[in-house]
Structure 1
């Protein structure tokens, strides 16, 4: 049997640190399902759902369980402003594929401004850092991905579309496709963007009160709602 070359094949509840099911975030059905059933991860996984559904909580916990900073960065990042992350990571165990890379990076749009300041204050010993604060939000986001997302590893993104235009989202998809083509990289992303949800080859998980369910892109409410709005925006706007 051919060995899988991407880092993490499965997420389970830690056998020595069980989570209380009556305490947040296990009160969210997607989190409870993750703890009860575990979750298999392939090379690319996209989580889609409404605000408050639990998708960002899950991505954040995966990043922490992997050893990444909850506010963004690599395994070496120590950036922290205000601790707001859930305790979910303490109750997770990542089942790794043997012999794979331990590199990784976590990007979340809501903490990017502070993270850029952290990078400026802690420049890489091997190169000068990109002048992120001198760029637009989208330009700096794509520059960071181009500068940091390379080679084998686990790459996690939380709602990156908030920084990106339509063409920026396409550029991000191109960068992620190039990473995945190696077979040694793995992507986990949460998004509200129908464009980013279409990451080729990704398993799409619809996150909501039902828990976690695999869905085809064309069957997502996200996609159907945007299609309906673009076909007839006045049908929606007159009800505002």
Structure 2
């Protein structure tokens, strides 16, 4: 079926290259759970959780195992400045869907400036590169998504809301929604945004000391927390 043609079906530990369970990042509960039981990926998978829960660690490792640049870009990008990624990717095995594409792109807000510089210095021969440095942070982020996220592929995003306004998040949500609807594209997203977590049809995983667990959008701590603050911000402000 067309719906089974997105790139990755499951992520699991390399059986011949186990990661030492006493070392980081294996000590993070979500990473330990993946190594123990594997992680099934849907056409769209959204990771949510508090700072330090392991969202970016998982997203980064899966992107690297797929062949994407750790600081952003496609499978052909060679951009790197100061390596900070964990060793997890080297211990992962990706179970791919037959006939799935090998194209993809990794977009992370914290390394966008360096990625734009790399693209200026290494212009694409197949398309005219947008001058991303001439745009605002949010505009450049959306322009890059429109320019690069096309057709079948694995589209990985790490906390993109840090670059976006509310309307920007809605615009990105529309882009991701259309990609997933194609049936051959796959989205893996980590976020603190209840807007982006509402990606239609996504499997939402909430990360924490328990590891990761599947939850409906309306039951997420992320959603209830924002709702509570917006209903009565003074309840939080007086405790600061």
Q: Identify the TM-score tier after normalising by the shorter chain.
A: over 0.9
State the SS of the aligned residue for 2:100. Answer: coil
Runs of 4+ in 1 over 4 A off after TM superposition: none
Q: Give the Cα–Cα distance (whole angstroms) in 2 for the partners of residues 214 and 117 of structure 1.
A: 38
Unaligned runs of 5+ in 1: none
2:106 is aligned to 106
State the SS of the aligned residue for 1:93. Answer: strand
1:121 is aligned to 121
2:11 is aligned to 11
Q: Give the Cα–Cα distance (whole angstroms) in 1 for the partners of residues 182 and 216 of structure 2.
A: 24
Q: Give the Cα–Cα distance (whole angstroms) in 1 for the partners of residues 133 and 4 of structure 2.
A: 39
State yes or no: 1:59 paired with 2:59: yes
Unaligned runs of 5+ in 2: none
State yes or no: 1:160 paired with 2:155: no
Q: Give the Cα–Cα distance (whole angstroms) in 2 for the partners of residues 182 and 203 of structure 1.
A: 17
1:195 is aligned to 195
- When the two structures are aligned, how many residues end up with a matched partner? 240
CA offsets per residue over residues 146-183 of structure 1, 9 Å max, x none? 00000001000000000000000000000001111110
State the SS of the aligned residue for 1:130. Answer: coil
Q: CA contact under 8 A between 2:10 and 2:96: conserved in structure 1?
A: yes
Aligned CA-pair RMSD = 0.9
Q: CA contact under 8 A between 2:3 and 2:183: conserved in structure 1?
A: no
State the SS of the aligned residue for 2:69. Answer: coil
User: Relative to structure 1, is the Cα distance of residues 8 and 180 closer, same or farther in structure 2, using a 3 angstrom cutoff?
Assistant: same
1:221 is aligned to 221
State the SS of the aligned residue for 2:60. Answer: helix
Shift of residue 83 of structure 1? 0.4
Q: Give the Cα–Cα distance (whole angstroms) in 2 for the partners of residues 5 and 128 of structure 1.
A: 29
Shift of residue 2 of structure 1? 7.2
State the SS of the aligned residue for 2:4. Answer: coil
Shift of residue 3 of structure 1? 7.1
Shift of residue 127 of structure 1? 2.2
